[in-house]
Amino acid sequence: MKYVPFVLIASVFITLPGGTLAQDLSQFTAVQGPVIALTNVKVIDGTGGPPSVGQTIIIRGDRIETTGPSSGTRIPAGAEILDLTGHTVIPGLIGLHNHSYYTGGRGRAAQLSFSGSRLYLASGVTTIRTTGARQPYAEINLKKEIDEGRVIGPTIFATGPYLTGEQGPERMVRLEGPEQARRVVRYWAEEGVDWFKAYTWISRAELGAAIDEAHRQGIKVTAHLCSVGYREAVALGIDNLEHGLYANSEYASNKQPDECPSGFRNGYADLDIDSPEVQATFRDMIDNNVAMTSTLVVYEASVSGRPPIDERVFEMLAPEIAEEVRQMSIEFRAEGRGSSPAVFAKAMEYERAFVEAGGLLAAGVDPTGYGAAPPGLGDQRNYELLLEAGFTAPQVVQIMSANGAKVLGIDNEVGTVEAGRTADLVVIEGDLEIVGSLQGTKIVFRHGIAWDSAKLLDSIRGIVGIR
């Protein structure tokens, strides 16, 4: 089609203020300049504090040079000026469960190094942690190619292969004990992954060994759990826990050590969030600085009675996949057919209560399942779902930016709109507090390079899900 990834036809690079970029990719930028001034804009800065109106942000090279009231800001001579009256600027989104692959329809799976990377960036996601790799070398190489300006995409924190038990799917490492866990972690740490992800059927002994070895190697571990409860994982030293209530089996009455109790979520519709059991989970996580990752969008896909899927999803997907996803969404979401709306509401309540207790909540899309939550577009839907969960707009922005940066240990670089930070920013049409949606994303700055969201989307329309 338009561009063949990884085959460099002409290795001509241009130097932009934010770094070098393959020349043929510069057609996707919205504006270029050594200095760019975003004027008269409303800023929700990622700290969770109240928004500021009438702001001017000066971007020089890959940095935010200044930010403050337009009336008191001197615009440097020669700056490219974008008058953003009627727009909102937020920090670039940091997706903490943002796979570089996608599963869609009935059993399809594809590494989306080309379309997924563009779709993340076009949607405002400037940093991803992949949180489970099907092809770890594809991720390590993709990360490098993006950093070198050869491929368009977000900053990547790569993950090793999933670590699970003998019941796990064939694409994962089916651990046969703690020693293997250590060996696998050592190998991939040396190869350059930043994180590991443990999955559903891992045992406590294997998880403990993986965490210990990862920490020795200077990398971290998160998990989508079931056979191990959250409090057990915290005691083993885990760094992050994925999917909130949906992956915490420790409240199930039939939970046995090292076993994943089937259907445990069905009992959660009436879970008392104020109960000592739930509060103990929150306290353990908070006391040990273990963050929770919200992935509401991938669960919403199968909940009965939810509103229809965003039409843009079907426009971006390859037509054959789009048709399958549409059919499946209709089947799953029919009243009484899919998963429980009460459990979905409880999962929202769980996340809000965790934050109220002082917990660190971040978010990610998890573009898996039957494919209704693709890269980027699903992150945008998470914004709406977190509002529905009861968070304010500044809180949601914080969860989706600064909190993710904290989990990754890069909060001194990105995650807030602040002088001196890397210029990773999203420009959204309209007043975000009023429109309540990130669908108006127009320009996405990563390292000071201003990507035109519409141009990026046009370049991948109809091929998402394939490559």
Binding track over 239-278 against Zn ion, x by CB under 5 A? ----------------------------------------
State both tokens at 166.
């003998």
Smallest gap from Cβ 368 to Zn ion, in A, equals 5
The size of the chain, in residues, is: 467
Site for Zn ion (CB under 5 A): which residue of 62, 351, 366, 379? 366
CB of 424 to Zn ion, least distance (A): 23
Give the containing element (helix H, strand E) for 95.
strand 93-95
Q: Nearer Cβ to Zn ion, position 238 or 426? A: 238
Buried b (16+ CB within 10 A) or exposed e, 50-76: ebbeebbbbbbbbbbbbbeebeebeee
Q: In this chain, which residue has its C-beta nearest to Zn ion? A: 366
In angstroms, what is the minimal distance from the CB of 328 to Zn ion? 18
Beta bridge partners, 129, equal 157
Distance CA 411, CA 357 (A): 22
Of 132 and 229, CB closest to Zn ion: 132
Q: Cα–Cα distance between 261 and 185 in angstroms, integer?
A: 27
User: For residue 220, which phi and psi values (nearest 5 degrees)?
Assistant: -120, 170
Only one of the segments 10-18, 257-265, 272-280, 363-371 lies at the binding site for Zn ion (rule: CB under 5 A); that segment is 363-371
Q: What is the biggest distance separating any 2 CA atoms in the chain, rounded to whole angstroms?
A: 69
Bridge-based pairing of strands 101-104 and 449-452 is unpaired
Measured from the CB atom, the residue of 290 and 298 that comes closer to Zn ion is 298
- Backbone φ and ψ for 163, nearest 5 degrees, come out as -105, 115
- The strand pair at 449-452 and 441-446 is best described as antiparallel
d(CA 279, CA 284): 9
- Considering the complex, what minimum distance in angstroms separates the CB of residue 162 from Zn ion? 9
Q: Which stretch binds Zn ion (CB under 5 A): 56-64, 70-78, 361-369, 450-458?
A: 361-369
Contacts to Zn ion from residues 336-355, by CB under 5 A: none
Q: Closest distance between Zn ion and the C-beta of residue 302, in Å?
A: 15
CB of 55 to Zn ion, least distance (A): 36
- Contact region with Zn ion (CB under 5 A), list: 73-81, 183-191, 299-307, 366-374: 366-374
Query: Whose Cβ is closer to Zn ion: residue 171's or residue 455's?
Result: 171
Assess 379 for contact with Zn ion (CB under 5 A): no
**Chain position carrying tokens 């990563």:** 446
Q: How far apart are CA 314 and CA 7, in angstroms?
A: 28
CB of 224 to Zn ion, least distance (A): 6
Provide the CB-side half-sphere exposure for 102 (13 A, CA).
Answer: 30
Comparison of 103 and 392: residue with beta carbon closer to Zn ion:
103
Residues 123-162 that bind Zn ion (CB under 5 A): 132
Binding window for Zn ion (CB under 5 A); candidates: 144-152, 171-179, 359-367, 400-408: 359-367
Residues in contact with Zn ion by CB under 5 A are 132, 366
